[in-house]
Amino acid sequence: MGADRSTVDRSLAATGLIGRQAELTRVLDTVDEGWNRPRTLLLLGEAGAGKSRLLSIAADHARDRGALVLAAQGAEAESRHSFASLHLLLLPVLSDLGGLPDHLRNALEAAFGMAPAQGPVDPMPLRMAVLTLLTDIARGQRLLIAVDDVQHVDRDSLDVLDFVVRRITARGVPVLLAARGLTPPDGVPADAPALPLDPLPPQAAAELLDAQPHPPTGRTRMEVLRQAEGNPLAVIELCRAARADGAGVLHGGGRPRTERLQELYAARLRSLPETTRRLVLHAAASEHEDIATVMAAAGTGTDLAAWAPAEEAGLLTLVDGRVAFRHPLVRAAAYHGAPAHLRQRAHRDLACALTTDPARRAWHLAAACLGEDEAVAAALEDTAELAERRGGFFAAGQALQRSAECSPRAQDRARRYAKALRAANNAGDPGWVRELYDKVSGLTDDRDVLGMVAQGAGMALSLLGHQRQGFQVLMSALEPEPPKDPMTVLALTAMLHAVAFQSGLPEVRRPLAALVEAIGPDGGDTTYTELAMTSTADRVRAGTLAGADPTRAPELLRQQLDRWPTASGPTAQVGDMILVLALGGLAWYADESDLCVESYQRAYAVLTAYGSVGPTRVSRAALASALMDTGRWTQAEEQLEEAATLAAVHKLRHLEIDIAALRVTLDALRGLPAEVPADPAWTAVPLAENRATHARLLRAAGAAAAAQGDFEASFRHMRSLFTEDGTPLHHFLSPRSVADLAAAAQRTGRQQEAARIVEAVRTAVGPRPTARMRLLLHHADALVGDPLEAEHHFRLATVDPAGEQWPLARAQARLHYAQWLRRKRRPLDARPLLAMALETFTRLGAARLAQEARVELRASGAPTGPAQAGPLAELTAQQRQIVRLAAQGLRNKEIAEQLMISPRTVSSHLYQVYPKLGVSNRNQLSGLFQDL
């Protein structure tokens, strides 16, 4: 058997290895299964990817199981010495040579210089000697062979190892090899299975960063993650450098200099010719420039041969007109290994060469700037405005912070720091926001500037779970004297609305409507350029009013669509994206789930392409919920994965828990084993002031209990969504679980108690509820209300065409109606309802509910067949994305641009999935999706 999950988890915990669970499982499987059948594995990856750590863990694992481990590591200094690596590998067992036949022992001793050679070494006896020695050892005990840095193993040793590995693995001896790079080095068995160690995904890289003794925060945290590019060693070294030398070591795209970096790369850099070193320094300083620009700045001409020594040394490669460093730490060592005056000169040279690109020119001038310089500060501010208009909030924030640092006047510093904070907030980094808030607070008493920073600080506090503090910061900027700019007031109020939703506290929501209605028209220039359009400001106002009182949302949405119809074209400018995001929020409150999904996805696509995820933070859980509600569970799963990564990278505490709860809910709906988030999730943020998170946790726990058939526990959790008198725990989220509560109550005989809550919910949602709430209330009334009115309510819950927007809820209502009909001895009336419910549950992948419907249908006398999994079930997540986009009519090139892959990859995936889907061309794909 392969390595079990507990073994892998213990190994990860014991070693601190993060983000390599799948790879470790594969390695341990090779070790364990290799003793029963042929097995070898080649680990590939760049320096610092974790190859040596995995080999070390595997060796310890084998020793714990009583195996003898023969290990060797190739060394560049010994790569010219014949059989040097082979000698190191066999050193622990050389005392066993006496058991070999004389001719084999003589060949091995001669190769190692242990005995005088009687002539040229014959390769075949030597190979047989090693094979025989290892085979004899393997007969008496378990054996593991592990060779690291194969690229530095001498060729003679590799020749023998190639011969031996092909034969000894067939005798049950596992062999692990590791080599630098992404392709097997010469001399390695060509058919050896390879395991590439890709860069860590962002979530794992963030976890590794947080595991360091003194993890950086704020902007420095994001710079470390960005510059490390998912390389574990780079994360560790950059964290260490930031701790030792301060955040300045990461400034302007530069990399830190540490002793370990010098040990890794400085020797190779120093051995380069002077012209090549100059080119490498300019390339390290440029980071984004093409080869022609780098060479023009360095003044070395146009002959690419000048790069050859660096390429031959394995430091970099030239690809598609750009310089690609082999490892993030190569760039670090190249940049910080050079004297300061040469780094400054390199940035000035690059600024001179970039006459047609003001943005990058400004950055190089800033990198060369010592102290304060208003011209540089102004150039960076202009750069930031351009980036922000395009949605590049992180880049804008960096430029504005550096602009503030270069500003001679305090008022300009405060203003630019405030703009940087707003960009950092939009970029999604609450830690960075808090750093900038502290800088601005001590520089100015300008109410508009302080209002701008309060908006960002309030949201940062909210994202960290401190809703009451966020509320206090925002209100301190609005009272007693609000900012003069109406758009600053609107931005503050919109942030207050986000805090009000997450907190669920009536006292936070209460002042919203009055604050919005007191905002005057924009009287001229505003710092909030994204709100400068009347349509955008008007829609943000409407969204905030809907948050203050969700019962107004349907009418507010209707007014907005009448005044500013939704566009179907591309969304490019920030103002347009805010307009679409605000529409998504309005649709969310109005229970127009399809419009909510469409709006959020349109805006997300552009913001994600720019790397500006900040504006999406507060709506991630809403989008995932809307996708689940509308039956797009595959998309919901992908959205939850993206949101989990965002939450981990930026340490968004309540979002992490929200996503975990929604994942449990989705698993429960699918009928999968669903584990409710562990106790720490319930205490990671104060739930008393994070009622939205509390409500999602309770619903997840209730859904998980129902999936396991424990309806007592399900009712207990669902009941906790409401206070003793039936008041919703969360004003918006709790009422949407009223039908689930009623279903659990009907199973446990608690109808009377649930009926009181249904009445309280009906009062809370007002006399004109949304279509969704109307259907849910009818469903709940049918289950726990007056038995004489049950069929009336069931009919109203199942016949309204509006209900098809929420297929799961509609199917559950049909199932419950059919069960009621069967109890009334009307099986013929129940059959069509059960057939429709079964079809929906099967299409969605709700296995438990499908089985329940199948049993009911069989009991009604109708024949049933086995449930058929949806045709998309066996595809990977990426294949499903490709098929969905192709079904929407996009060409391969357009799909490739959206998913950032090659058109050839798109074509290959489509070719592979057509037979699985039972189609022969892309025109037949649209029939597979109900939601296009």
DSSP conformation letters of 721-789: TB-TTS-BSSTTTGGGGHHHHHHHHHHHT-HHHHHHHHHHHHHHH-SS--HHHHHHHHHHHHHHS-GGG
94-108, 361-375, 478-492, 529-543: least confident range:
529-543
- Among 312, 329, 355, the domain boundary falls at 355
- Asked, for residue 464, whether it belongs to a domain, the answer is yes
Band (902; pLDDT cuts 50, 70, 90)? low
Neighbour-count burial for 115-142, b at 16+ CB within 10 Å, e otherwise: eeeeeebeeebbbbbbbbbbeebbeeeb
Q: How many Cβ atoms are within 10 Å of 296's Cβ, its own excluded?
A: 19
Q: What percent of the chain has pLDDT over 70?
A: 83
Most confidently modeled range among 472-476, 526-530, 908-912: 472-476
Average pLDDT over residues 423-447: 80
Q: Evaluate whether residue 915 is within a structural domain.
A: yes
pLDDT at 529 (0 to 100): 61
Q: Is the pLDDT of residue 572 over 60?
A: no
Residue 13 maps to a domain: yes
pLDDT score for 563: 79
Give which of 236, 214, 615 is closest to 225, Cα–Cα: 236
pLDDT (mean) for 140-153: 88
Q: Do the domain assignments include residue 792?
A: no
Judge whether 791 lies within some domain.
Answer: no
Residue 574: the pLDDT is 59
User: Torsions phi, psi of 872, nearest 5?
Assistant: -90, -5
**3-state class (DSSP) for residue 319:** strand
Same domain membership, residue 273 and residue 291: yes
Mean pLDDT, range 91-113, rounded to an integer: 84
Q: Check residue 295 and give its pLDDT.
A: 93
The structure tokens 């020594």 sit at 309
Distance CA 666, CA 919 (A): 29
Half-sphere exposure of 468 (CA within 13 A, CB side): 7
Average of pLDDT values for 697-726?
93
User: pLDDT value at position 865?
Assistant: 54
Residue 824, domain member (yes or no): no
Confidence band, pLDDT 50/70/90 cuts, at residue 32: confident
The answer to whether the beta carbons of residues 430 and 650 sit under 8 Å apart is: yes
Q: Is the pLDDT of residue 449 over 80?
A: yes
Using the predicted structure, report yes or no on whether residue 288 has a pLDDT greater than 80: no
Q: What value does the mean pLDDT take over residues 694-722?
A: 94
My answer on whether 538 and 495 are in the same domain is no
Q: Which of 194-203, 403-412, 755-764, 849-858 has the highest mean pLDDT?
A: 755-764
Q: Do the beta carbons of residue 849 and residue 811 sit within 8 Å?
A: yes
The residue-averaged pLDDT of 495-503 equals 94
pLDDT value of residue 867: 46
Residue pointed to by tokens 């600053």: 488
Q: Which of 44-58, 508-522, 591-605, 914-928 has the lowest mean pLDDT?
A: 914-928
Q: How confident is the model at residue 872 (pLDDT cuts 50, 70, 90)?
A: low
pLDDT, position 251: 46
pLDDT band at 145 (very low <50, low <70, confident <90, very high): very high
Give yes or no for residue 485 having a pLDDT over 70: yes
Asked if pLDDT for residue 287 goes beyond 70, the answer is no
- Whether 147 and 24 share a structural domain: yes
Q: Which residue, among 914, 814, 806, has the nearest Cα to 857 in the 3D structure?
A: 814
List the CATH number of the domain containing 68.
3.40.50.300
pLDDT of residue 13: 44
Are 76 and 157 in a shared domain? yes
Q: What distance in Å separates the CA atoms of residue 391 and residue 816, rounded to the nearest whole number?
A: 48
> With the CA atoms of 402, 406, 410 and 415 taken in that order, what torsion angle do they form, in degrees rounded to the nearest 10?
-40
| pLDDT at site 257 | 41
Q: What is the mean pLDDT of residues 157-165?
A: 85
Q: Are 18 and 208 in contact (CB under 8 A)?
A: yes
Within-domain flag for 124: yes
Domain carrying residue 245: 200-253
Inform me whether the pLDDT recorded for 869 exceeds 60: no
Flag whether pLDDT at 252 surpasses 60.
Answer: no
Per-residue pLDDT band at 104 (split at 50, 70, 90): confident
Same domain, 45 and 175: yes
**Is the pLDDT higher at 426 or at 671?**
671
Higher pLDDT, 433 or 819: 819
Report the distance separating Cα 921 and Cα 916, nearest Å. 12
**Which pLDDT band holds residue 273 (cuts at 50, 70, 90)?**
very high
In the numeric block, which tokens belong to residue 671?
Answer: 């009928």
Report the phi/psi class of residue 861: left, alpha or beta, with left for phi > 0 and alpha for psi in -120 to 50: left
| Highest mean pLDDT: which range of 190-194, 679-683, 823-827 | 823-827
Examine the pLDDT at 389 and tell me if it is beyond 50. Answer: yes
Q: Which two tokens stand for residue 253?
A: 């795209």
178 and 211 in a single domain? The answer is: no
pLDDT tens figures, 637-655: 988 988 888 888 777 888 8
With a cut of 70, say whether residue 556 has pLDDT above it. Answer: yes
- Residue 248: band (very low, low, confident or very high) from pLDDT cuts 50, 70, 90: very low
- Three-state secondary-structure class, residue 180: strand
Element (H, E) at 339: none
For residues 22 and 169, membership in a common domain is answered with yes
Alpha-carbon distance 821 to 804, whole Å? 21
The predicted structure's pLDDT at residue 255: 41
Which residues does 658 contact at the CB level (< 8 Å), separation at least 6?
620, 621, 692, 693, 696
- Domain check: are 231 and 125 in the same one? no
Shared domain for 522 and 540, answered yes or no, is: no
pLDDT at 258: 44
Residue length of the chain = 932
In a domain, 796, yes or no: no
Which pLDDT value is given to residue 191?
72
Mean pLDDT of 899-916: 69
**Which residue, 691, 708, 725, sits at the end of a domain?**
708
- The angle at the Cα of 877, spanning 876 to 878, to the nearest 5 degrees, equals 90
Q: What is the mean pLDDT of residues 214-222?
A: 79
How many separate domains does the chain show? Answer: 8
* CATH at 900: 1.10.10.10
Choose the weakest-confidence range: 55-69, 383-397, 863-877, 893-907.
863-877
Q: Which two three-digit tokens encode residue 615?
A: 């504006």
CATH number at 419 reads 1.25.40
Least confident of 20-29, 217-226, 247-256, 874-883: 247-256
Q: 704-707 — which CB contacts under 8 Å span 24+ positions?
A: 704/664, 704/665, 704/667, 704/668, 704/674, 704/675, 704/676, 706/668, 706/740, 706/743, 706/744, 707/667, 707/668, 707/669, 707/671, 707/672, 707/674, 707/848
Which of 22-31, 411-420, 624-633, 860-869 is modeled with the greatest confidence?
624-633
Q: How confident is the model at residue 512 (pLDDT cuts 50, 70, 90)?
A: very high
Verify that 266 and 347 share a domain, yes or no. yes
Q: Which residue has the higher pLDDT, 924 or 228?
A: 228
401 and 323, same structural domain? no
Question: What is the pLDDT at residue 505?
Answer: 95
Write down the pLDDT at residue 705: 93
Nearest to 365 by CA among 384, 379, 386: 379
Structure tokens of 641? 């994965």
Domain stop point among 568, 588, 612:
612
Q: Write down the H helix ranges in 337-444.
A: 340-353, 358-368, 374-389, 393-406, 410-427, 430-441
* Strand, helix or coil for residue 570: coil
Question: Do 472 and 436 share a structural domain?
Answer: no
